[in-house]
Every structure is written in structure tokens, then in C-alpha cells.
Amino acid sequence: MRRREFIRLIGSAAGAGYPLIARAQQGRLLRRVGILGVTPESDSMVQARIAAFRAELQKLGWVEGVNLRLDSRMAAGDVELLRSYAQELVALTPDVLFSAGTTPLTALQRETRTIPIVFAQVSDPVGLGFVSNVPRPTGNITGFALFETGIAVKWLELLKEIAPGIKRVAFIYDEANPASRSYLSVLEASASHFNVQISGALVQNVDDIIRTVTQFAREPNGALIIMQVPVNSVHRGQIIELADRHKLPAVYFYRYYVADGGLASYGVDIIDGYRRAASYIDRILRGATVSELPVQFPTKFELVINLKTAKAIGLAIPPTLIARADEVIE
């Protein structure tokens, strides 16, 4: 009797301990990925990008709560908060970090030179010092770049096709994105070829945006190029409304500005970049090193035009340009 009771007690103890053992094993198997971005988490475009990123990871076998934990921090345009979030994520010692853009990558690079970082949506990673070797990155950073700063010439060309009479172009930027000055330099060097005057307009908040665009619109024959920086992304609705109100032709980096009512964009499909970044994270979690994952640049660009906006500001888009567009919003 005592023997049977002893066996029962041992069995009960083992059964009670099993969930603890299982949880401990799961904890060892759970891989950790930190995500850092600067646009508000409530932004529909951010949600679409991160959803695509998560879906791709799941497709590759990484399921949140089963073998993966995602720690996400979105700074809502606050650069100081972004830096604090970068410190938080690095302190969690994740297996890999994902940077959603150039400004977050700057913050993460400042905090770690050892934890692998995969980026998407970053301009000129070599020129900005994030990587020194594109085919075989020698540091802890790799990923999927946007485009070379020379694309700024295409934005000027697009503006002149849309509105041949423009003479002045304001480049709206924020130095939180270290690539801003490089784009501005390309625009200034190309200005005489297009017979326009380029003016850099540094903004740091929505009040700067309103004041800058309003003052610029007081003189005729003006147009805008909107740099992809945190303040512009967060307040894109205000920028689009100002451009429409003052009948200023404006060119943007990404399609979602045009979907929100902007005139035209020439750039890349950034959601695709997030999916591809997930593939690199998968490979690192399975043992690949950063040096085995070359930095990749886009090969496909998309031109998007909003005909409704063009009509509202009194522009007739040339049929040849419409024919070349990848998407026309009417």
C-alpha cells in the first residue's frame, strides 16, 4: 500500500511539473526579434507594412507565441523617443533587430555593433556609413535599400512633365533622416538643367510645414518635392491639403501619399521590401551570418498619378505620362 502510494505521489509530482518543464523548453525555443520604426503604429500604412512582415515570417515558419516573440516600438515621429526605444530594444538582447527606415537604423547603429540588424526602406546605406561592403557586409547590418540619391533627378523631371511652367521647387525635409542633404545636393546640381530654382526647406514640426508651404506659395510657378522623413510622413495629410489648397504640384516618394490625395509619386513598393526583410530575418534565425546576406537594391520602380488631384489644382497630365504610369488614381 505504501509502495503504491509512493508511486502515485511521484507520478503526481511529475505531472504537476510537466507544464513548467514545457514552458521552460518553449522559452529556450522562443526566438526574439525587435522592430523599431518612427511612424505612429496607428498609421494605416505602417499597419499594412508590419502585417506583411509578420505574414511573411509566419509563412517561413515563425509563429508568434510558439517559436517567435516580436517586440515592436514605434516612435510616432518623436526622434528622442526613437533613441530611447532603440536602447530598450537592444537591452532586451534580441536575436535580430529590424529597422523600418533610415532614422531608426541610425538610432540602432548607435546602440549596438554586435546584434544583427536587418533594414528596409533605407536610402544610400553605403554613403551613410551603415555598410561598407554591399555583397558581403562586414558589420552587423544588412537589408533592403531604397534607391540611390540620383533618383532626385527623376522627381524633377516628373515635375517638369506634369507642370512645364514651374520655376521654383521647394524640397521639404528634416535632418532626422541623414540622407536628406544628399538628395538636396543632387537637386541643386540638376536645377539649371531643368531651369528651376531649388530651395531646401528644413521642417521639424507641423507648424514649420504650414508656415513653409504657405510662404512658398505666395510666389507663382512653384512646386514641391516631399522628402520621406518622420515629420512629413506623420503629417502627410496636412502637406497634401496645403499643396492642394495652394495649387502646388507635388511629387512624393511613395504610392500611399498619392492614395491619400497627393499628386504623383515615383519610387518603390516598400511593402515588398518588408517581406524581403522578413526572409533575411528567417535566415539569421536559422544560423546565417550578416556577411552571407548582401545588401539588395530595388530593380523595379513605380510611377503613380492621381488624376483627381491634378484636375483639382488645374493641371492636365500629358497622355504620354499617363500611359507610362504603373497606376492612375481617378
Distance, CA of 231 to CA of 236 (rounded, Å): 8
Please identify, in words, the CATH class of the domain defined by 149-267+302-329.
alpha beta
Alpha carbon distance 39, 74 (integer Å): 6
Q: Domain spans of the chain?
A: 31-146+270-292, 149-267+302-329
- Given this model, what pLDDT does residue 209 score? 97
Domain 31-146+270-292 and domain 149-267+302-329, same fold? Reply is yes
- Residue 177: per-residue pLDDT: 81
What stretches of the chain adopt beta strand conformation (E)?
31-37, 68-74, 96-100, 117-122, 141-145, 168-173, 197-202, 222-226, 250-252, 264-267, 302-306, 327-329
Over residues 101-117, the pLDDT tens digits come to 999 999 999 999 999 99
**Given this model, what pLDDT does residue 108 score?**
98
Reduced to 3 states, what is the DSSP secondary structure of residue 64? strand
- Candidate CATH numbers 3.40.50.300, 3.30.530.20, 3.40.640.10, 3.40.50.2300; the one for domain 31-146+270-292: 3.40.50.2300
* Positions in the chain whose pLDDT score sits under 70: 1-28
Residue with cell 515563425: 62
Return the exposure string of 155-182: e unless at least 16 CB atoms fall within 10 Å of the residue's CB, then b. bbebbbebbeebebbbbbbbebbbbbeb
The three-point CA angle 212-216-218 to 5° equals 130
pTM of the model: 0.81
Name the CA dihedral angle for 312, 317, 321, 322, rounded to a multiple of 10 degrees.
60
